[in-house]
């Protein structure tokens, strides 16, 4: 594949990602939690930073940018609707828009919920979607600004991507998310198996990010409000998908 992706652990439980185009030598960074690990990964691989794509305004996704900007002078991409609370942007993008990176199309998706104007970046040529704090491994982001309806719409938008899409989310939360998911759909054998695999990976110090979208659709309760098993378990057989999603998110907040 002409595009290579490196996962960079940052802070206590964040992830940043480097997307590298072998043909041109260009490298894009998705989110900038802190500069040190990102600089070290770039240096170790001999890559130069060309662009930075910001998903949302929270400090643990942008605070590393000033130092990276001072060294590499990358072009910074972010949501036009959130430009007033993001670092200075060289390119402002909107839902449904697209731009090219090293000749590869990047599609912009508004995935509001965790924050309003949160965006994700879908790169079909890499089979990758960078979701930050929207869709996560066995979870979704807490609703700090947006509504449950907004986040459910965002989940549907992401679930419509091809099943072989790899989901690059922003935090190492899968083990806690698995414990909660088992309370929502305890009879799901795929979820049971994934929870065991996550526990083994974390015990070995391994990351659980990225994940495959098909696996998220089979195990992530936030993508499964239409499941008859979940609806029966929650006593919400006749509820709408949006109502079931909201109840799952409410229960996670109290978990």
Q: Does the active-site annotation cover 114? A: yes
Q: Does the active-site annotation cover 110? A: no
Distance of CA 187 to the CA centre of its chain: 27
On whether the CB atoms of residues 63 and 34 are closer than 8 A, the answer is yes
On whether the CB atoms of residues 57 and 85 are closer than 8 A, the answer is yes
- The one catalytic residue in 20, 56, 57, 118 is 56
Q: Does the active-site annotation cover 233? A: no
Selection from 44, 34, 42 nearest residue 14 by Cα: 34
- The one catalytic residue in 20, 31, 57, 61 is 61
Cβ neighbourhood burial of 139 (10 Å; 0-12, 13-18, 19+): buried
128 φ, ψ (degrees, to nearest 5)? -130, 140
* Rounded distance between C-alpha atoms, residue 73 and residue 91, angstroms: 14
- The one catalytic residue in 57, 104, 114, 118 is 114
- The one catalytic residue in 31, 60, 82, 110 is 60
Selection from 157, 107, 103 nearest residue 127 by Cα: 107
Q: Does the active-site annotation cover 58? A: yes
Distance of CA 103 to the CA centre of its chain: 23
Structure tokens belonging to residue 230: 């979940």
Distance of CA 133 to the CA centre of its chain: 5
Q: Does the active-site annotation cover 56? A: yes
Selection from 113, 72, 83, 109 nearest residue 94 by Cα: 109
- The one catalytic residue in 31, 82, 110, 133 is 133
- The one catalytic residue in 57, 58, 104, 118 is 58
- The one catalytic residue in 57, 104, 118, 171 is 171
Give the residue numbers annotated as catalytic, written as ranges: 56, 58, 60-61, 114, 133, 171
């Amino acid at each position: 594949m002409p595009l290579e992706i490196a996962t960079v652990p940052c802070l206590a439980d964040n992830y940043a990602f480097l997307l590298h185009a072998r043909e041109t030598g260009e490298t894009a960074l998705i989110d900038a939690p802190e500069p040190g690990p990102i600089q070290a990964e770039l240096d170790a691989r001999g890559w130069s930073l060309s662009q930075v794509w910001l998903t949302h305004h929270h400090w643990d996704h942008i605070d590393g940018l000033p130092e990276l900007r001072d060294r590499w002078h990358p072009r910074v991409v972010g949501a036009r609707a959130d430009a007033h609370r993001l670092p200075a942007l060289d390119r402002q993008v909107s839902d449904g828009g697209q731009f090219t990176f090293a000749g590869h199309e990047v599609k912009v998706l508004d995935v509001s919920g965790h924050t309003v104007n949160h965006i994700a970046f879908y790169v079909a040529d890499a089979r990758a979607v960078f979701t930050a704090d929207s869709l996560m491994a066995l979870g979704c982001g807490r609703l700090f600004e947006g509504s449950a309806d907004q986040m459910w719409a965002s989940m549907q938008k992401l679930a419509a991507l091809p099943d072989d899409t790899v989901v690059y989310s922003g935090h190492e939360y899968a083990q806690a998310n698995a414990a909660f998911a088992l309370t929502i759909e305890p009879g799901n054998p795929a979820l049971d198996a994934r929870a065991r695999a996550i526990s083994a990976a974390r015990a070995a110090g391994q990351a659980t990010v990225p994940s495959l979208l098909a696996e998220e659709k089979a195990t992530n309760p936030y993508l499964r409000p239409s499941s008859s098993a979940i609806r029966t378990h929650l006593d919400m057989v006749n509820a709408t998908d949006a109502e079931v999603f909201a109840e799952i998110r409410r229960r996670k907040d109290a978990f």
